[in-house]
Structures are given as structure tokens and as C-alpha cells.
């Protein structure tokens, strides 16, 4: 049985990542890439679907965890009546090989431990052929994949699992190294554990030191930035929305999606989060990724891509995996990739606008592609779409989508004017005004004094919290204030924000999901923008308190069961945390950057 979602911590090597439970079991790992088949899939089934346990043999052991300061090196401390030990788990940033290193350090007395390695390639389906190469080295092969285990303790095979029971005494160190390689290549050499640990620590500390501290929440912001950095696939600069698939948005439900891909939507916030924290290399890598991914004819623009820009992300269900706490189906691929979501045009224009403003792009870079995208948008912006939430119900005229169409023209007009770029400015300005008028007429309910989810609808949608942040209307406009009030009245659950009411919005799925953490950060931003700084700070701190013991957030939270739900850790949540922290810190204020309006303060 897997742990609660919040029981997991993340380790990664900048090309993939693993989830380590409080009990010391690595229950999720796709190797060698984020989007490869999982070889540990116990998270979505049981231990027989692949995992690597390294933990205490006794049950009355006190467990505490932390990351080594400013690193992605996890330390799990075990304390029993007889002794104490720390397990240090990490993946060195990818060089030639990809390794998971687990080092046990005996600290006091002695403590009984065990390890159980169950390798199941192909999302838990394929049992490998395991052979002993030499003392302490085991090789597991199936098809194209090979794993090598180097162990300081004697391992034996038991029921298709590699197991060991051992005792660690004060001052002793026991290490395990698991390495991935393609099976046709000679087995890679075992890394030196101490050197790898020192290099990994140095890598992360140096990376963090390059950025700026986000006061007054430097630890929470740094942990979010490290997590975001760990979700970037280094060879291409693409960032996955999360390293997991199918962690449910409702326990036992069907809202289970594969997030191991790159969404254009998340682009603006990614770029802003890194730029605001002083990490320009990642922002530049992301911008380059974006331009490569979307290159081609604008008719073929996708809303999401694979980590190297792949377009075929066909969704299928994994029948042999029962799902996290029986939340089926488990999905691989994501059918949302084929949807029309008009907002991505606005996200692209905004991200390139911010990149120019931030000085990480030459003025002309990508401009002709942008012009072609706007020509396409001018043709289709009046079509219904599936919106920011990628609903699987009928396409609608989502108000947020139309606002983002306005953003697309607005940012391009500003760039053309500011940098003297060639553009049909009269046509774009007329269209920008027309979209604005249409949204204010058809997306606004004057009887209730609020914007609504889609044209003519009575429903609300948390994406409307972005109206002033996007610069569409000022934060003190009565229509914006009315919308914030209406969302407070109708979309709050225990003080956190739902994306929309799944009972009334036809999103093609049975109702029920957690509160959506990025939207809750947006409410804090909206409070800050309209001068309610105390409310903003209080909400932000309540959100921070939802983070698990090592500072990680899922996409959603279920206030009733007080559990995290949805994929984990989720980039959107961590991006939003950094953005709101910057807003509240009165630093560079991403909300202000996007809207180009001052955050008013009382
Ligand atoms: O719940 C419906 C949709 O949920 C997923 O999309 C969500 O995650 C994306 C990545 O962070 C985000 O960009 C999007 O706005 C969210 O709604 C899922 O990937 C979709 O397939 C699904 O329809």
C-alpha cells in the first residue's frame, strides 16, 4: 500500500525524478526520462509493481526528514530505542550515467534495517532477468533497459525480489547504488559515493547561490525553486508539470492525468518565477525550448508538448495498474494535447514579451512566428474552446480564453511599439478593443456584478481572479472587485479556492475534486492587487502550511480529509507560490509585471 501523497519527497538528476516515501520506499521512478515507462510503479498499485525499500525493520521507529540545506539531497533520520541512523538519498545531476545513491550512516547504538528491491519495467509489468556479476553487484535486464545494483551488504533473491536484512552500528556507513543503462551497452562503472555526494551538494548550493533570496519566505521559495529546477529536463530546457501520472484529484475518482509533459500555459509563470529569482539561464533555456516546440505552421500549434517538443502524446489506460488507492484509470499520455485552448496564444505572447522586457531575448527573436500566430488567432478567437481547465465536456466561449486572446494582441502591440517591430498595428489595436468590448458585454453578468465562466453562464471560475493581474482591467474596477467577492462567496472551501464548481460545470467528468492550490495563490495575488495585503498574507501563510514536511505541494488539497490530491510535486503550485511570495515581498512583483499596473497599498 503506498503512503499518502504528502508522505513523499523528491530526488532527481535533472532528467528524471523519484518519489521516496517516509518509510524509505521509492515507489515511483520513470527511467531514464521523466516520460519513460516506470520501473517503480508501487505508487499506482502495490509493492509488486516495483519499488525500492530501504528502511527500519522495527515498527516503533521515529522518522524525521529534511533536505540538506539548499539541495535536493534527502535525509531520513531513524531513531529507535537501540540506536539512530540517517539515510541519505540522492541522484547526482546526470552525467554519463544515471544513479540513485542511498547511504546509511550509523549515528548511535545500532539499528536493524532492511532493503527490498523490486524492479518491474514497463509500468510494473515486466519482470527482469537478474544475475549476480561479482560480489555486491547485481544486474537486472529486460529488453532495452538495464539496472545495476551495487550493495555493501549481502543481497539475496526471494520471490523475484532482491532483499537484505542488516544492522548498522554507530560510525558505520553502508551504501547502495542503483544505475540505469541501456542493456546493449557495457555496464557503467560504480561511482565513488563520497565524491558523488560532495559534487551533488556543491551543484545544488551553487545553483541556489546564483539566485536571489525571496524575503520574507526564503526557505519556502528556495524549496519551490529547487523543485522547479528538478522538474526541468536539462537536455532541452522543457519543464514537466509534475513527475507523476494519475495521482487522483479525488481519491477513488477518475480525474487522473499524466503530467509528465510541458504545458505552454505554465510558460509565463515558469519564466517569471525563474527571472524574479535571478535564474536567467533556466528562463532562457525555457524560452528556447518554447520557440523550438511551437516552430512550424500556426495551424498545428499544440497546447502541450513532450519534454523534447514531441507532439504525439496519445492517451491510453494501463489496465494492469489499479491506481493510487484504487483511483482508476491510470493514464499514460494526455488527450488534452489535441484540444483547442485559446489561452495558450496569450501565454506565448506574454512569455516572449516578458523575456524581451527581462533582457533575455533579442528584440526580433521569434517575431515573425509571433506575427503568424496572431494571424491565426485573429481567425479563430471567436470559436469555442476547452479552456484553461482543459474540460472534457463541450467546448464553450470561456471568458478567460477570450481575455487571453486580448492578452495576445495587447503584448504584441506593446512589443511592436516599444521595440519598433514591423506589425499591422491598426488591425491589431482594433481587434484588441473588439475582444475587450465583447468580454465586458458577454462575459460579465451585470445583475450579479461579476465576470462569469463562459459567455451567458451563471457559473464562476477561478481563472477570473487573473483579470487584473493580466492587465485586462484595473484591480479597483468595481467589476473586478465584484468578481473577487463572488468567488469568495461561491468558490471557497475552507478558505481555499476551487477552480469551478464541478457540480454545475459540465466538464465531462463525474463531480468532485480538491481545492486547486494555484488558484488559491491567485486569490492572494488578487487581494494584494486590490490593497487587501493582510488578507493576502494570511491566505499565503495558510497555503504554505499545507506544504509537507519537506516543503512540497501537490496540485490540489482535500480539506475534508486534510490530504493532498493530484499529481505531485506540481510545478504550477510551486510556480504560483514563488510568484505570490514575490508579490507579497514587494520585490519585483510578477502580478505587477504582467499587468504593468501598480499594486495599490493602503
Ligand atoms: O482536470 C482536467 C484536466 O486536468 C489536467 O490539466 C491541469 O493541469 C495542467 C498542467 O499543470 C494545467 O495546465 C491545466 O490548466 C490543468 O487543468 C490534465 O492534464 C487534463 O488532461 C485534464 O483534462
How far is the centre of ligand 1, averaged over its atoms, from the C-alpha of 241 (Å)? 9
Q: Which CATH class is domain 206-595?
A: mainly alpha
Residue nearest atom 7 in ligand 1 by C-alpha distance: 389
Query: Band of the pLDDT at 286, cuts 50, 70, 90?
Result: confident
pLDDT in tens, 61-72: 999 999 999 999
- The ipTM (two decimal places) reads 0.94
265 C-beta closer than 6 A to ligand 1: yes
40 C-alpha to ligand 1 centroid (Å)? 24
Domain range list for the chain: 5-186, 206-595
Locate the ligand 1 atom nearest the alpha carbon of residue 336 and give its number.
21
The pLDDT value recorded for residue 590 is 60
Pick the CATH number of 5-186 from 2.70.98.50, 3.30.70.20, 3.40.50.2300, 3.40.50.720: 2.70.98.50
Q: Which of 107-116, 198-207, 212-221, 253-262 shows the lowest mean pLDDT across its residues?
A: 212-221
Ligand 1: centre distance to CA 402 (Å): 18
With a 6 Å cutoff on the Cβ, whether 334 touches ligand 1 is: yes
Determine the pLDDT at residue 602.
Answer: 28
**CA 256 – ligand 1 centroid, Å:** 10
336 in contact with ligand 1, CB cutoff 6 A: yes
Question: Which has the closest alpha carbon to 501: 553, 535, 458?
Answer: 458
Is 572 near ligand 1, meaning CB less than 6 Å away?
yes
What is the average pLDDT value for the chain, to the nearest integer? 94
Ligand 1 centre to CA of 330 (Å) is: 15
- Segment 171-184 shows an average pLDDT of 98
At 213-250, the pLDDT tens digits run 888 899 999 999 999 999 999 999 999 999 999 999 99
User: In this model, does residue 594 exceed pLDDT 80?
Assistant: no
Give the H/E segment covering residue 124. Answer: helix 121-124
- Rounded to the nearest angstrom, the distance between the alpha carbon of 338 and the centre of ligand 1 is 13
pTM: 0.95
Residue among 542, 505, 546, 545 at smallest CA distance from 527: 542
What is the SS3 assignment for 58? coil
**Res 192 pLDDT > 80:** yes
pLDDT in tens, 31-63: 999 999 999 999 999 999 999 999 999 989 999
How confident is residue 593, by pLDDT bands cut at 50, 70 and 90?
Answer: low
pLDDT for the residue numbered 288: 87
Q: Which 3 state secondary structure label does DSSP give 316?
A: strand
Using a 6 Å cutoff on CB, does residue 390 contact ligand 1? yes
What is the tens place of the pLDDT at every residue in 463-491? 999 999 999 999 999 999 999 999 999 99
- Whether the CB of 255 sits within 6 Å of ligand 1: yes
Residue in this structure with the C-alpha cell 531514464, named with its chain if needed: 32
Q: By alpha-carbon position, which residue is closest to atom 3 of ligand 1? A: 390
| C-alpha distance from residue 492 to each of 1, 489, 523, 580 (Å) | 32, 7, 10, 18
Tell me how long the chain is: 602
List the residue whose alpha carbon is closest to atom 21 of ligand 1: 336
| Fold match, 5-186 / 206-595 | no
CA nearest ligand 1 atom 16, residue? 389
Residue 589 has pLDDT above 60, yes or no: no
Residue 377 CA to ligand 1 center (angstroms) comes to: 22
Kindly give the distance from the C-alpha atom of residue 450 to the centroid of ligand 1, in angstroms, as a whole number.
25
How many whole angstroms separate alpha carbon 539 and alpha carbon 521? 8
Give the model's pLDDT for residue 363.
63
What pLDDT does residue 586 have?
67
Is the Cβ–Cβ distance between 212 and 278 less than 8 Å? yes
Is residue 386 lining ligand 1, measured as CB closer than 6 Å? no
Yes or no: say if 490 and 453 are a contact pair by the CB < 8 Å rule.
no
Ligand 1 contact via 388 beta carbon (within 6 Å): yes
Q: Which of 128-142, 319-333, 532-546, 585-599 has the lowest average pLDDT?
A: 585-599
Q: What is the mean pLDDT of residues 398-408?
A: 98
Determine which residue's CA is closest to atom 5 belonging to ligand 1: 257
Three-class DSSP labels, 502-544: CCCCCCCCCCCCCEEHHHHHHHHHHHHHCCCHHHHHHHHHHHH
Amino acid at each position: 500500500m503506498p503512503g499518502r501523497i504528502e508522505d513523499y519527497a523528491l530526488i532527481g538528476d535533472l532528467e528524471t525524478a523519484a518519489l521516496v516515501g517516509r518509510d524509505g520506499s521509492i515507489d515511483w521512478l520513470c527511467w531514464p526520462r521523466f516520460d519513460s515507462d516506470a520501473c517503480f510503479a508501487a505508487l499506482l498499485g502495490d509493492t509488486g509493481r516495483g519499488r525500492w525499500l530501504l528502511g527500519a525493520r522495527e515498527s516503533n521507529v521515529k522518522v524525521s526528514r529534511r533536505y540538506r540545506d539548499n539541495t535536493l539531497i534527502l535525509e531520513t533520520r531513524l531513531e529507535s530505542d537501540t540506536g539512530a541512523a540517517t539515510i541519505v538519498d540522492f541522484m547526482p545531476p546526470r552525467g554519463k550515467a544515471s544513479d540513485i545513491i542511498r547511504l546509511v550512516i550509523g549515528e548511535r547504538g545500532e539499528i536493524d534495517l532492511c532493503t527490498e528491491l523490486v524492479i518491474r519495467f514497463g509500468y510494473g509489468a515486466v519482470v527482469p532477468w537478474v544475475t549476480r556479476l561479482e560480489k555486491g553487484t547485481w544486474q537486472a535486464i529486460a529488453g532495452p533497459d538495464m539496472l545495476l545494483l551495487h550493495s555493501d551488504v549481502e543481497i539475496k533473491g526471494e520471490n523475484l525480489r532482491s532483499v537484505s536484512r542488516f544492522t548498522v552500528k554507530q560510525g558505520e556507513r553502508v551504501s547502495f547504488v542503483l544505475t540505469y543503462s541501456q542493456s546493449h551497452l557495457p555496464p557503467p562503472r560504480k561511482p565513488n559515493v563520497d565524491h558523488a555526494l560532495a559534487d551533488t551538494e556543491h551543484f545544488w548550493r551553487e545553483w541556489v547561490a546564483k539566485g536571489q533570496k525571496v524575503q520574507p519566505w526564503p526557505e519556502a521559495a528556495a524549496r519551490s525553486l529547487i523543485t522547479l529546477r528538478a522538474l526541468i529536463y536539462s537536455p532541452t530546457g522543457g519543464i514537466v508539470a509534475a513527475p507523476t501520472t494519475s495521482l487522483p484529484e479525488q481519491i477513488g475518482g477518475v480525474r487522473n492525468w499524466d503530467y509528465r509533459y510541458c504545458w505552454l500555459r505554465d510558460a509565463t509563470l515558469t519564466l517569471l518565477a525563474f527571472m524574479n529569482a535571478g535564474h536567467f539561464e533556466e528562463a532562457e533555456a525555457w524560452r528556447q525550448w518554447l520557440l523550438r516546440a511551437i516552430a512550424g505552421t500556426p495551424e498545428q500549434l499544440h497546447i502541450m508538448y513532450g519534454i523534447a517538443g514531441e507532439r504525439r502524446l496519445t492517451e491510453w489506460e494501463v489496465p494492469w495498474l489499479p491506481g493510487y488507492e484504487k483511483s482508476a484509470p491510470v493514464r499514460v499520455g494526455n488527450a488534452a494535447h489535441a484540444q483547442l485552448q485559446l489561452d495558450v496564444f496569450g501565454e506565448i505572447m506574454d512569455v516572449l514579451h516578458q523575456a524581451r522586457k527581462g533582457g533575455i531575448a533579442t528584440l526580433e527573436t521569434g517575431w515573425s512566428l509571433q506575427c503568424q500566430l496572431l494571424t491565426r488567432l485573429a481567425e479563430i478567437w471567436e470559436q469555442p474552446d476547452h479552456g484553461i481547465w482543459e474540460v472534457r465536456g463541450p467546448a464553450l466561449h470561456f471568458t478567460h480564453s477570450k481575455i487571453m486572446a486580448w492578452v495576445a494582441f495587447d503584448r504584441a502591440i506593446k512589443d511592436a511599439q516599444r521595440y519598433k517591430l514591423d506589425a499591422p498595428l491598426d488591425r491589431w489595436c482594433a481587434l484588441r478593443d473588439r475582444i475587450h468590448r465583447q468580454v465586458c458585454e458577454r462575459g460579465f453578468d451585470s445583475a450579479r456584478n461579476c465576470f462569469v465562466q463562459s459567455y451567458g453562464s451563471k457559473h464562476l471560475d477561478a481563472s477570473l481572479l487573473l483579470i487584473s493581474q493580466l492587465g485586462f482591467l484595473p484591480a479597483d474596477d468595481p467589476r473586478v472587485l465584484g468578481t473577487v467577492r463572488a468567488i469568495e462567496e461561491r468558490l471557497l472551501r475552507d478558505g481555499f479556492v476551487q477552480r469551478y464548481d464541478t457540480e454545475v460545470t459540465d466538464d465531462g467528468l463525474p463531480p468532485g475534486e480538491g481545492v486547486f492550490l494555484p488558484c488559491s495563490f491567485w486569490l492572494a495575488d488578487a487581494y494584494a492587487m486590490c490593497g487587501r495585503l493582510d488578507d493576502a498574507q494570511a491566505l499565503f501563510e495558510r497555503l504554505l502550511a499545507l506544504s509537507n514536511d519537506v516543503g512540497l505541494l501537490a496540485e490540489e488539497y482535500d480539506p475534508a480529509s486534510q490530504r493532498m490530491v493530484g499529481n505531485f510535486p506540481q510545478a504550477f503550485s510551486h510556480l504560483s507560490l514563488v510568484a505570490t511570495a514575490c508579490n507579497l515581498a514587494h520585490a519585483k512583483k510578477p502580478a505587477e509585471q504582467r499587468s504593468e499596473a501598480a499594486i495599490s497599498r493602503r
